[in-house]
């Protein structure tokens, strides 16, 4: 690799970090041993700023450029961590929707629902566009789901991110 700028982050397919690089895994570094790198990163990724600072934590994360994109109300700050790898949806997060199904207006004559219709106790069912009304048996419609979190990750391919600990100190424009 050409000599990098200190703090340069690259994707790396190796299983170890090359000389003068470290994995972007949130490792705490000492300020006294890494003054130049600390002057670039500060405490944006953690540490107390007196004796320690942290490298960026990129495991399970995607990089997002800091700042506010045009037309986007979010304003990302350096080192900000956002988002969840899994989430449990609430009813408020689901869009309004209907469940259409056919219901017989005849009395139920079987106790098994397999290959049968929902039957009524001498009532009609309220269906959109139909004026007759009735009450469904209490077990006809039930809540669904297990209140368990589901994956919230886009398709991904895992690779290491490494940061240059040594190299050229980046000049200002």
CA distance 57 to 136: 53
Work out the number of other CB atoms within 10 angstroms of the CB of residue 70.
4
What is the total residue count of the chain? 173
Q: Read off the DSSP letter of residue 35.
A: H
pTM > 0.85:
no
Given a cut of 80, whether residue 165 has pLDDT beyond it is: yes
Q: Percentage of the chain surpassing pLDDT 70?
A: 72
Averaged pLDDT score across all residues of the chain: 82
130-157 residue pLDDT tens: 545 556 555 556 666 677 888 888 888 9
Query: Strand (E) positions, the chain?
Result: 9-12, 21-23, 28-30, 52-54, 67-68, 75-76, 86-87, 103-107, 118-120, 150-151, 160-164
pLDDT of residue 111: 62
40 three-state secondary structure: helix
CA distance 91 to 106: 33
Given a cut of 50, whether residue 10 has pLDDT beyond it is: yes
């Amino acid at each position: 690799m050409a000599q990098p700028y200190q703090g340069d982050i690259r994707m790396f397919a190796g299983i170890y970090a090359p000389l003068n690089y470290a994995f972007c895994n949130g490792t705490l570094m000492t300020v006294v041993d890494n003054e130049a790198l600390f002057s670039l990163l500060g405490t944006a990724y953690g540490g107390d700023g007196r004796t320690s600072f942290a490298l960026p934590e990129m495991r399970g994360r995607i990089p997002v450029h800091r700042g506010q994109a045009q037309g986007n109300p979010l304003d990302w700050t350096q080192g900000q961590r956002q988002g969840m790898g899994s989430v449990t949806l609430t009813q408020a997060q689901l869009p309004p929707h209907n469940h259409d199904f056919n219901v017989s207006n005849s009395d139920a004559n079987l106790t098994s629902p397999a290959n049968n219709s929902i039957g009524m106790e001498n009532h009609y069912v309220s269906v959109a566009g139909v004026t007759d009304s009735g009450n469904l048996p209490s077990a006809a419609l039930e809540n669904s789901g297990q209140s368990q979190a589901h994956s919230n990750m886009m398709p991904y391919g895992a690779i290491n991110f490494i940061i240059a600990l040594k190299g050229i100190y980046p000049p200002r424009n």
